[in-house]
Amino acid sequence: MRRGLRGRLEGVYERLLEREVSGAPTHVAVIQDGNRRYAIERGAETTEGHRAGADTTERVLRWCGDLGIEELTLYAFSTENFERPPAEREALFDLITEKLRTFADREEVHDRAVHIRAIGETHRLPDRVRTAVDYAEARTADYDRLHLNVALAYGGRAELLGVARDVAREAAAGDVRPGEVDVAEIEGRLTTGPTRAVDLIIRTGGDERTSNFLPWHANGNEAAVYFCAPYWPEFSRVDFLRALRTYQSRRESWRRTRARRAAALLRALGDVELEEARRIVGRFRDQDVPLPTDHAPDGD
């Protein structure tokens, strides 16, 4: 009876969270941590934890489609994961190969027009994984409603280091002027990254770090970060909605801060600059950002 009551309460709480989330982020990136610990605590092989985590991935993909999220990036295999024991590493490769093919053939993926793409140093992966990547990408190449990026053999710092070396080499050869290297130039060279800036990073498993994940697309965009305790196989829709609420709260706080700064600038300017300042501040009003009065508090 207690279990039934708890289930009903969780359902009510989930619906409450849905009402509180008024705007979903465009791009969510997930660090799927805790698969091995989930299995160990249950006395199972680590591969069973990864398999349970793959089931969670399917559910999250469905939630993203339901909520209108346009891009999802999953940290499936990092460059550091090559250091894992050979048996575990090979089992992971087998699971990734299986799931890529399964996803690519799943009717729901085609109904939702999901475009699957691998990002990272995929040339370092075994042939069977690269073949599965090619299959999944080819099967979903014409879709664009929801982009699913699977980060395989991915390391953010190594990616940025490679770009820096390329620019330095070309500058030394006189092929590029250092002063002309801008954001667009760098993004054009990040061939292993996602298509959009990251709005929200989610990490499961209790650790509070982003582990070299998408440093340019996430940190550069000042993405919101949500850390939670459940292992990835235990990650629920309630956890996902809480993460979205964190993103929404951070976005609203950022807008309020920006509006306060604009209002302070307006008050500091003299009459000559007043009309121009009002025009600038008007941009914030157009985005439904509440402007403070002269007596507005300094904090949020």
Each domain of the chain, given as residue ranges in start order, spans 24-235, 252-300
The verdict on whether 33 is a catalytic residue reads yes
* Tens of each residue's pLDDT in the chain, 300 residues: 566 666 566 667 777 777 777 778 999 999 999 999 999 999 999 889 999 999 999 999 999 999 999 999 999 999 999 999 999 899 999 999 999 999 999 999 999 999 999 999 999 999 999 999 999 999 999 999 999 999 999 988 877 888 888 888 988 888 888 888 888 888 777 766 677 889 999 999 999 998 888 888 886 667 899 999 999 999 999 999 999 998 988 766 555 555 565 566 556 655 545 566 566 656 655 555 444 434 333 444
Q: How far, in Å, CA of 150 to CA of 13, rounded?
A: 31
pLDDT of the residue at 273? 56
Q: Confirm if 226 and 267 have CB atoms less than 8 A apart.
A: no
Secondary structure of residue 206 in the 3-state scheme: coil
Question: Which tokens in the block code for residue 75?
Answer: 């940290």
In this prediction, residue 172 carries a pLDDT of 87
The pLDDT, as a whole number, for residue 181 is 86
Give first-to-last CA distance, the chain, whole Å: 43
Structure tokens at 138: 């080819």
Domain 24-235 has CATH 3.40.1180.10: yes
Query: Residues 6 or more apart from 219 whose CB is under 8 A from it?
Result: 210
Which of the residues 81, 94, 219, 221 is marked catalytic?
A: 81
**Type and span of the H or E element at 151:** strand 146-154
Phi first, then psi: give them for residue 72, nearest 5 degrees.
-130, 125
pTM of the model: 0.77
Q: Are 243 and 226 in contact (CB under 8 A)?
A: yes
- Name the active-site residue from 33, 35, 149, 212: 33
Burial call 191-206: b when 16+ CB within 10 Å, e when fewer:
ebbbebbbbbbbbbbe
